[in-house]
A and B are shown apart, each in its own frame.
Chain A
């Protein structure tokens, strides 16, 4: 017993202060929201788009990066001869609307007013129980969702909790590209959640298929099967990005 108490003293109190205090420090090499400087682009150059493994970077009138498809590998940044693309350490990536995930040269990230609308906010704002479904997720997304339950992040203090049954849940948090073999499982789980319900998709796979875009064995994410209330980009999203998205959804930030 004494050793348990001594260990408690040694380990200290480590729960992060965010959102009341500052967020935990992110490493300098962290790849968050990309930024595009169109002034540096050379006409006819497609180096960034050609380097992109998932087609997230497109070059039409301007360069656009779809964070919903982006693996944050920065292959586009490395390929650009003019250094027009840089990945900033901005972790605030989540958005209510799919089109808000598109980064353009003169657009400053997703809008920050991402809170649920009237009735939903009244119902879920102070207590949100989520059922997580991994529909082909490689376990990196799942692992960094699990992290939110550790003492360092303590998601429970915001009234958000992951529950064992869809019958106990207010909504789903989906990861993975929705494999053919998980499609039925996902649909049945969604049907088992009582109305009104919300759907959150986390990670490039769940938004667009990620590295598995257009594979016959996957379905390019959840979007076409259900309305989505929150998109959290990343491969996988950093726990801080997920927490930030969830708190914005509930109007806490």
Chain B
């Protein structure tokens, strides 16, 4: 087991190759001791019949990351999921990409519906036939008054596609199963052999509303692999952009939650105020989504005094508007009655499923990469971890509101005391035969990028874990024993990314 800090690169050789059962024991024991699996993924080796499996473990108490690896010869490996449920989707993904069968996996299905990167297929599907999304087994409930509701891939709103199946008894949902993969664009595969002119644009469009978080994670991987010192001024500006992204999305979500219960004042105001925060990001870099803001070695756009002053003025105005609009929600008992005790995700389940971000914090888990694995300006300016204990829609809404307030304070601090100097350093060639891990806290939760370089310093594997990848299962769980009519509300309280999951 090799130990490293967030944003550090290690030599591949330093990561000892464990036997499969030793690998399993180490990962499962670490999870039982309170660690979390940030990523578990396969990587091709020179021999086509051998696949390496890497696991990145997060030790939140000690601000450390642990990396272990093993090798699978042939096309089967024993599934870790029965002992460690949070890896269930990682194992399905590994199987889909490399055609390996995890023996003993409790619900073994494709994740994104594509042909494997090897010539094997874990489901023994014919090689030349197309793979159709959503074509797989689904849970079925049978009995009197039991029925199934299937929705999607094209949903009713202006939203990404996915397929949802509800097993219902009247209004009551026994189980919701979510089939995604419709947005799969082959990003991880395309990153192999990079970096090149297009790589950073993949990072920027992995999940459009998480542009800043993913691009920071991508750039920090490059910086780790090329030993680049990012200037302090760039760190501060990255922090500002990341928190603006968080606020804009959180404000939008609070408005959308209000809309789903028909509480129109907050819905209309927050819809507009979200735009005010997006426009602040555009003031920094010209793009409302932060395209072009974060670049390897620093940031693409510096600020001057006038721009800082204008930003601070805009933040003051938007803060007041937000506070008036959002407090209406908390002050309205009929609105609160629709939020409380709906879509509960208990802490024990959130822990077991490896849930991250506001959804985890609303279930009482104090995990937040900004304080657990701090990087950049978060090492010096601490943002309190906002938690709530109810794990329901209200909890997830209220955690967002707490975070909006903390982020505004953080942005003010950063802008008022912005370090001088350059905003971007040159970045050199990447070191060969290394592994680098970069984690940051996007607005939905932990964004994790892992890059492995070959002997030429090119990406031989690039793994991306969007928080949605972990949290979709949390939404499915939260729907159990709810009314099906509460689905939109529960769904919005998680507000997960399809693209971030589908990659």
- Chain A interface (Cβ < 8 Å from any Cβ of B): 3-4, 7-8, 10-11, 14, 26-31, 50-54, 71-75, 132-147, 149-152, 162, 164-165, 176-177, 179-182, 184-185, 189, 210-212, 215-218, 235-236, 238
CA distance A54 to B289 in the complex (A): 19
Chain B residues with CB under 8 Å of A14's CB are 272
On whether the beta carbons of B207 and A31 are closer than 8 Å, the reply is no
On whether the beta carbons of B182 and A181 are closer than 8 Å, the reply is yes
User: Known: A71-B201, A73-B292, A142-B159. Is A185-B153 also a contact (CB below 8 A)?
Assistant: yes
On whether the beta carbons of A11 and B321 are closer than 8 Å, the reply is yes
Give per-residue flags for B70-103: 1 if the beta carbon is below 8 A from chain A beta carbons, else 0.
0000000000000000000000000000000000
Q: Please tell me which stretch of B25-33, B324-332, B449-457 contacts chain A, meaning at least 4 of its Cβ atoms lie within 8 angstroms of it.
A: B324-332
Q: Please tell me which stretch of B280-288, B350-358, B402-410, B480-488 contacts chain A, meaning at least 4 of its Cβ atoms lie within 8 angstroms of it.
A: B280-288
CA distance A221 to B300 in the complex (A): 29
Chain A residues with CB under 8 Å of B271's CB are 147, 149-152
On whether the beta carbons of A142 and B160 are closer than 8 Å, the reply is yes
**B197 interface residue (CB < 8 Å to A):** yes
**B154 interface residue (CB < 8 Å to A):** yes
CA distance A197 to B289 in the complex (A): 32
10 closest residue pairs by CB, A with B = A140-B208, A29-B286, A138-B208, A164-B156, A217-B186, A150-B271, A181-B133, A53-B198, A139-B208, A211-B201
CA distance A184 to B161 in the complex (A): 12
Chain B residues with CB under 8 Å of A53's CB are 197-198, 200-201
CA distance A236 to B282 in the complex (A): 12
User: Known: A11-B325, A71-B201, A143-B209. Is A181-B184 also a contact (CB below 8 A)?
Assistant: yes
Q: Which A residue's beta carbon lies closest to that of B160?
A: A134
Q: Which A residue's beta carbon lies closest to that of B269?
A: A11
CA distance A215 to B301 in the complex (A): 30
A-B contact pairs, 5 of them (CB 8 A): A53-B201, A137-B499, A179-B184, A179-B185, A236-B208
CA distance A138 to B497 in the complex (A): 9
Chain B residues with CB under 8 Å of A176's CB are 183
**B498 interface residue (CB < 8 Å to A):** yes
User: Known: A53-B198, A152-B275. Is A4-B209 also a contact (CB below 8 A)?
Assistant: no
Q: Which of B380-401 contact A (CB under 8 A)?
A: none
In the complex, which range does the number of interface residues on chain B fall in? 35 or more
Q: Which B residue's beta carbon lies closest to that of A147?
A: B275
Q: Which B residue's beta carbon lies closest to that of A188?
A: B154
Chain A residues with CB under 8 Å of B205's CB are 138, 140, 210-211, 235
Q: Tell me the smallest distance from the CB of B37 to a CB of chain A, in Å.
A: 26
CA distance A3 to B330 in the complex (A): 12
CA distance A179 to B282 in the complex (A): 29
On whether the beta carbons of A3 and B499 are closer than 8 Å, the reply is no
Chain B residues with CB under 8 Å of A177's CB are 185
**B268 interface residue (CB < 8 Å to A):** yes
Q: Tell me the smallest distance from the CB of A58 to a CB of chain B, in Å.
A: 15
On whether the beta carbons of A29 and B269 are closer than 8 Å, the reply is no
Q: Which of B262-285 contact A (CB under 8 A)?
A: 265, 268-269, 271-272, 274-275, 279, 282-285
On whether the beta carbons of A150 and B153 are closer than 8 Å, the reply is no
Chain B residues with CB under 8 Å of A181's CB are 112-114, 133, 181-184
Chain A residues with CB under 8 Å of B204's CB are 211
On whether the beta carbons of A146 and B158 are closer than 8 Å, the reply is yes
Given B156, B184, B275, B283, which contacts A29 in the complex, CB threshold below 8 Å? Answer: B283
Q: Tell me the smallest distance from the CB of B408 to a CB of chain A, in Å.
A: 18
On whether the beta carbons of A29 and B301 are closer than 8 Å, the reply is yes
On whether the beta carbons of B289 and A217 are closer than 8 Å, the reply is no
**B202 interface residue (CB < 8 Å to A):** yes
Chain B residues with CB under 8 Å of A236's CB are 208, 289
On whether the beta carbons of A150 and B275 are closer than 8 Å, the reply is yes
On whether the beta carbons of A138 and B153 are closer than 8 Å, the reply is no
CA distance A165 to B362 in the complex (A): 35
**B471 interface residue (CB < 8 Å to A):** no
On whether the beta carbons of B186 and A150 are closer than 8 Å, the reply is no
**B10 interface residue (CB < 8 Å to A):** no
Q: Which A residue's beta carbon lies closest to that of B202?
A: A211
Give per-residue flags for B103-126: 1 if the beta carbon is below 8 A from chain A beta carbons, else 0.
000000000111000000000000
On whether the beta carbons of B197 and A51 are closer than 8 Å, the reply is yes
Name 15 extra pairs, CB < 8 A, besides A136-B499, A138-B206, A180-B184.
A3-B327, A10-B321, A27-B282, A29-B301, A53-B201, A71-B291, A133-B154, A144-B288, A146-B158, A176-B183, A177-B185, A181-B181, A211-B202, A211-B204, A212-B185
Chain A residues with CB under 8 Å of B186's CB are 212, 215-218
**B211 interface residue (CB < 8 Å to A):** yes
Chain A residues with CB under 8 Å of B157's CB are 132, 146, 162, 164
On whether the beta carbons of B324 and A11 are closer than 8 Å, the reply is yes
CA distance A10 to B323 in the complex (A): 11
CA distance A14 to B274 in the complex (A): 13
Give per-residue flags for B143-185: 1 if the beta carbon is below 8 A from chain A beta carbons, else 0.
0000000000110111111000000000000000000011111
Q: Tell me the smallest distance from the CB of B119 to a CB of chain A, in Å.
A: 15
Q: Tell me the smallest distance from the CB of B282 to a CB of chain A, in Å.
A: 5
**B190 interface residue (CB < 8 Å to A):** yes
CA distance A46 to B344 in the complex (A): 57
CA distance A165 to B271 in the complex (A): 23
Chain B residues with CB under 8 Å of A135's CB are 161
CA distance A106 to B21 in the complex (A): 68
Chain A residues with CB under 8 Å of B114's CB are 180-181, 217
On whether the beta carbons of B498 and A139 are closer than 8 Å, the reply is yes
Chain A residues with CB under 8 Å of B181's CB are 181
CA distance A238 to B291 in the complex (A): 12
On whether the beta carbons of A137 and B285 are closer than 8 Å, the reply is no
On whether the beta carbons of A27 and B198 are closer than 8 Å, the reply is no
On whether the beta carbons of B282 and A30 are closer than 8 Å, the reply is yes
On whether the beta carbons of B272 and A150 are closer than 8 Å, the reply is yes
On whether the beta carbons of B328 and A162 are closer than 8 Å, the reply is no
Q: Which of B187-225 contact A (CB under 8 A)?
A: 190, 197-198, 200-202, 204-209, 211
On whether the beta carbons of A54 and B272 are closer than 8 Å, the reply is no
Q: Tell me the smallest distance from the CB of A20 to a CB of chain B, in Å.
A: 19
Q: Which of B205-254 contact A (CB under 8 A)?
A: 205-209, 211
Of B185, B265, B327, B497, the most chain A CB neighbours within 10 A belong to B185
On whether the beta carbons of A215 and B190 are closer than 8 Å, the reply is yes
User: Known: A143-B208, A185-B161. Is A3-B285 also a contact (CB below 8 A)?
Assistant: no
Q: Which B residue's beta carbon lies closest to that of A15?
A: B272
Of A3, A72, A139, A165, the most chain B CB neighbours within 10 A belong to A139
Chain A residues with CB under 8 Å of B133's CB are 181-182
User: Known: A138-B205, A218-B185. Is A7-B160 also a contact (CB below 8 A)?
Assistant: no
Chain B residues with CB under 8 Å of A28's CB are 286
Q: Which A residue's beta carbon lies closest to that of B183?
A: A136
User: Known: A134-B161, A140-B209, A185-B154. Is A215-B185 also a contact (CB below 8 A)?
Assistant: yes
Chain B residues with CB under 8 Å of A10's CB are 320-321, 324
